[in-house]
Amino acid sequence: MDKRMTVDEAVAEVTDGMTIGFGGWGSRRKPMAFVRALVRKGVKDLTVVSYGGPDIGILCATEQLKKAVYGFVSLDSIPLEPHFRKARQNGAIESVELDEGMFLLGLRAAAQRLPFLPTRAGLGSDVLKINPHLRTVTSPYEDGEELVAVPALNVDVAFIHMNRADAAGNGQALGRDPYFDNLFCMAAKKAFMSCERIVSTDELVAGGPLQSLLINRMMVRGVVEAPGGAHFTECPPDYPRDEKLQREYAATGKDEEAWNAFRAKYLDVTESDYQNAVSR
Amino acid sequence: MSRSDLTRADVCVLAIAECFRNDGEIMVSAMGTSPSLGARLAKSTFEPDLLMTDGFNLLLRKALPLGVEPSDRDVEGWMPFGAVFDTLWWGRRHVMMGASQIDQFGNQNIACIGRWEKPKAQLLGVRGAPGNTINHVTSYWVPNHNARALVAKVDMVSGVGYDRAAALGPKASRFHEIRRVVSNLGVFDFNTPDHRMRLVSLHPGVKLEQVIDSTGFELVIPDGLDATPVPTPEQISILRELDPQGYAQKEVVE
């Protein structure tokens, strides 16, 4: 089985108005090659479901994002995401802001094809006020406890980035935190995985403990070899976050001219031109 | 190290450490510099059973100095985000978060300033605050105590306070506890009949009027107010070892 393709072939599956899920967390192992391909493609009115970082920020800046579904949006070493902030403060986007744990349960519900999963998280907080679509559910057992029913976060297309994969779509996360990329794939109608290197299945299995084989080939429709595909976010052990480029990106939040220059240099270019421009 | 170079930051860090006293074998998640140092002091001295991470996903056997990368020999376990959520829903966790705003019942806001629909300032988002506060013990750290941070009403309730918890009834609120608030001026708790915030102690050198003037609501002020304990020479020398660069010193406004 061979599911190899290019980022642009994968992104061709995305059309205006779709709901997109991005794996990773904050500014960690984000599928940035796919984000850049989405910018090149120019699809609009996207709903983005993400433990948010520059994926949400960039698509805010390019005005392709209509609605963000998140628990936070952060660049980690720079706590506040400047383009997301700007979009929120200008009232330019719709938002569904959830507790981080509620967000996880929403992904799990979608992966399990359930309408919702119950939790205490959210009770008493303004998360219920700002999300009037959220409902509570009463335990059918003797305790009768009232809980938040977190609705499934169903996604049309999910994008994730792994350290290694084989051509069939088995994927390996070699960093210390797998995040929830498997759930994003299972919450989606279609999922695509980029990776630092496509290797033989033998090499994949030998390349790390079995527990690192987070993605199996059922979960993904396509595999893209994209070295530096998470850059400028971190992708350990292959590379740390490019703090310098992240600072450069963050500084464009308050300066239209700087943003246009950043976009021209790093986004309105092919993936290989991007990788050359940031060559490490 | 002599007592004469004792700083306000040292007093704050000890007060933070005291929040974790008697917590035993649970995970402490301390967000930010002073909370992280305080938790490390607690683990290094009177609460050795605490579980703590490197700030990411490694559980460490002992408290390392701020900024020191753990080696394999420092690791005792693994705590990726998936396990953090399981642990917090399990309840075996005490988190110390920051608060952009906090009110008299301990409702906390880290999400945004102004109307949520179109905020004046977008901050972090609610992050894990709603789930943390309803599932396990929470404390707060406010490094710059002023009336814009300690407010009559927060703009967006991220972390749940006592009035909101009480309104949920005893079942839903049975795991809710805001243990303490430590600021650069004093220590506060909610051990009052209606769980309104109470001044527990003033840091040495802080005047009561200063705290009252810097707080946007009426604090409960008990009779016979104590001064916040200062670290012993032994605790000071441990603090200097745990923060050789003095990061915590830069965080506190004196």
Asked if residue B224 has pLDDT above 90, the reply is: no
- DSSP 8-state assignment for residue B70: P
Q: Which chain A residue's Cα is nearest to B88? A: A101
Q: Which tokens go with A104?
A: 């996880």
Asked if residue B88 has pLDDT above 80, the reply is: yes
Asked if residue B2 has pLDDT above 70, the reply is: no
| Contact status, residue B117 vs residue B71, Cβ threshold 8 Å | no
Asked if residue B3 has pLDDT above 60, the reply is: no
Q: What is the pLDDT of residues A109-122, one digit of tens each?
A: 999 999 999 999 99
pLDDT for res B253 = 73
Q: Which chain B residue's Cα is nearest to A78? A: B124
pLDDT for res B1 = 41
pLDDT for res A166 = 98
Question: Distances in Å between the alpha carbon of A245 and those of B12, B174, B205?
Answer: 36, 46, 44
- Give the predicted TM-score (pTM) of the model: 0.97
Interface check A127 vs B, CB under 8 A: yes
Chain A nearest-CA distance from B19, in A, is 23
How many residue pairs bridge chain A and chain B with CB atoms within 8 Å of each other? 133
Q: Which chain A residue's Cα is nearest to B125? A: A72
Residues in chain A where the model's pLDDT stays below 50? none
Beta strands (DSSP E) in chain B are 27-30, 52-53, 58-60, 75-78, 93-98, 101-102, 108-109, 112-113, 121-122, 137-142, 177-183, 186-189, 198-202, 226-227
Q: Rg of chain B's alpha carbons, rounded to an integer?
A: 18
pLDDT for res A279 = 82
Chain B nearest-CA distance from A105, in A, is 10
Q: Which chain A residue's Cα is nearest to B160? A: A125
Q: Which residues in chain A touch residue B58, judged by CB atoms under 8 angstroms apart?
A: 176
Q: How far apart are CA B8 and CA B4, in angstroms?
A: 12
Chain A nearest-CA distance from B58, in A, is 8
Asked if residue B237 has pLDDT above 90, the reply is: yes
| Closest CA relative to residue A199, chosen from A160, A251, A164 | A164
Asked if residue B5 has pLDDT above 90, the reply is: no
pLDDT for res B8 = 97
B33-44 vs B233-242: helix axis angle to the nearest 10? Answer: 120
Interface check A97 vs B, CB under 8 A: yes
Interface check A184 vs B, CB under 8 A: no
Q: How far apart are CA B199 and CA B193, in angstroms?
A: 14
Asked if residue B240 has pLDDT above 70, the reply is: yes
Q: Which residues in chain A touch residue B173, judged by CB atoms under 8 angstroms apart?
A: 124
Average pLDDT, chain B: 96
| Closest CA relative to residue A184, chosen from A9, A4, A21, A59 | A21
| Contact status, residue A253 vs residue A245, Cβ threshold 8 Å | no
